Amino acid sequence: MAIYKRGSKFWYKFKFKGRRYRGTTGTSVERDALQIESTVKAEIYKGHFGILKKPAVPTLKEFKAQFIGEVSSRVSPGTLGFYKDNLNTLLSFPKLANCELDHIDHERISDFIQWRLAQGKAVATVNHALRTLRRALKLAAKFKHMHVAPQIQLLANENKRDFVLSPAAEAKYLEDCPPFLRTFTVLDLDTGMRLGELTKLRWPDVDWQAHTVYVSGTKTPNSRRTLPLTARALDVLQEQKKVSQCAHILSSPRWPNKPASRNGLQHAHEAVRKAAGLPLGFVLHSLRHTFCTRLAESGCDVYTLMKLAGHANLATSQRYIHNAGFSTSGAMQGFEKFTAQRRKQTVGTDVGTVSKKVRFIREKAS
């Protein structure tokens, strides 16, 4: 047999003109392995290889520049930062950093997972790195550095960001906030904008007469939207107008002529969170989550919630509606009240009666 299994992968082995050739196909699918073996044989027979030498395969560390260069033109700056941070995390694990791409297997990935969990990292944090590795290996296969990328399964039981700020906790948090973080917090709680959307916001985006703000978006076409501003949000913007000396609404607390940075906001938030005694689950994204939750609890329908939050689809918004706690009996009471009011407003359609025209048609038919 020209191919055989070694571990989970198929290898090829054959002789040609007295020389023995052997190597891995990089796949565990027999049909694909046979095709790869046939290709190798054809190249050798044509004399393209001479003495078969394994092509140089870059390590994950060597592949970093090519990976970043490829994705930088395809993703937003925020997503690019996400990939860079997580790739650096992967490279801090020597078994992955110094491993050739076609030798990264489930065993090495499992070792990385156990290493990160032993450091006390959350499941969600580990999954971020695994998503980055999955995309990197798929690109490596596309660039022919490996035959096929391994299937990477994410860890189950990933904790969702489900912290909702209560009114009491909100008051305490805002009381401890420095001015620039307080501005961000109020705008986020009253508009539900994403962190990247708020840091990109500029003064021309505010329509003072219409009391609205235009959000240019960061993720999907639905994220581009115009949002009404609450009275509290307008007051905060008016105060911020006196402070900001740059085109961006959120300016740096140290340099008013420069925009506030994501890292600056996150560091300030972490300091205030600890001082206020709020849990670790309270992250900046929780402010947007609180806005969506309160919107659902106020009776907002799922389509309007999707438009205001800039969700890509109704399924994301539907989670907030399900968690709003509306009872079926309450919904039916509202339905009964609504239909009874409609009947009273329409002459001849009170409960138990029909219009004269309907009665005439029925009598004529009988």
pLDDT given for residue 346 in this prediction: 62
Go through the chain and tell me how many residues it has.
366
Distance between CA 290 and CA 189 in Å, rounded?
A: 7
DSSP code string of 34-70? HHHHHHHHHHHHTTSSSS--PPP--BHHHHHHHHHHH
Sheet holding 206-207, edge to edge: 206-207, 212-215, 225-228
Which pairs count as long-range contacts for 295-300, CB under 8 Å and 24+ apart, including other chains? 295/192, 295/320, 296/320, 296/321, 296/323, 296/324, 297/324, 297/325
Over its C-alpha atoms, the chain yields an Rg (Å, rounded) of 30
Q: What's the token pair of residue 30?
A: 């027999």
Give me the helix-helix angle, 302-309 and 314-322, nearest 10°: 120
pLDDT in tens, 113-145: 999 999 988 788 899 999 999 999 999 999 989
Helix (H) or strand (E) holding 5: strand 3-6
Per-residue exposure over 311-334, b if at least 16 CB sit within 10 Å of its own CB, e if not? beeeebbebbbeebeeeeeeeeee
Q: Which domains does the chain have, with CATH numbers?
A: 3-45 (no CATH), 60-142 (1.10.150), 167-322 (1.10.443.10)
Distance between CA 104 and CA 116 in Å, rounded?
A: 17
Going by the DSSP 8-state scheme, the letter that residue 355 receives in this structure is -
pLDDT in tens, 21-41: 888 888 888 888 888 888 887
Kindly report the pTM of this predicted structure.
Answer: 0.60
Q: Is 180 exposed, middle or buried (0-12, 13-18, 19+ CB in 10 A)?
A: buried
Q: What's the token pair of residue 358?
A: 């309907």
pLDDT given for residue 334 in this prediction: 67
DSSP code string of 200-222? H-BGGGEETTTTEEEE--SSSGG
pLDDT given for residue 305 in this prediction: 92
* pLDDT < 70 positions in the chain: 1, 46-55, 158-161, 219, 322-332, 334, 346-366
- Please say whether the beta carbons of 237 and 249 come within 8 A: yes
Please identify which residue in the block is written with the tokens 């860079």. Answer: 84
Q: What residue ranges in 154-286 does DSSP mark as E strands?
A: 206-207, 212-215, 225-228
The dihedral formed by the CA atoms of 122, 123, 125 and 128, expressed in degrees to the nearest 10: 180
CB within 8 Å of 104: residues ≥ 6 apart? 60, 96, 133, 137, 150
Intra-chain end-to-end CA distance of the chain, in Å = 88
- Chain centroid, CA 206 distance in Å: 27
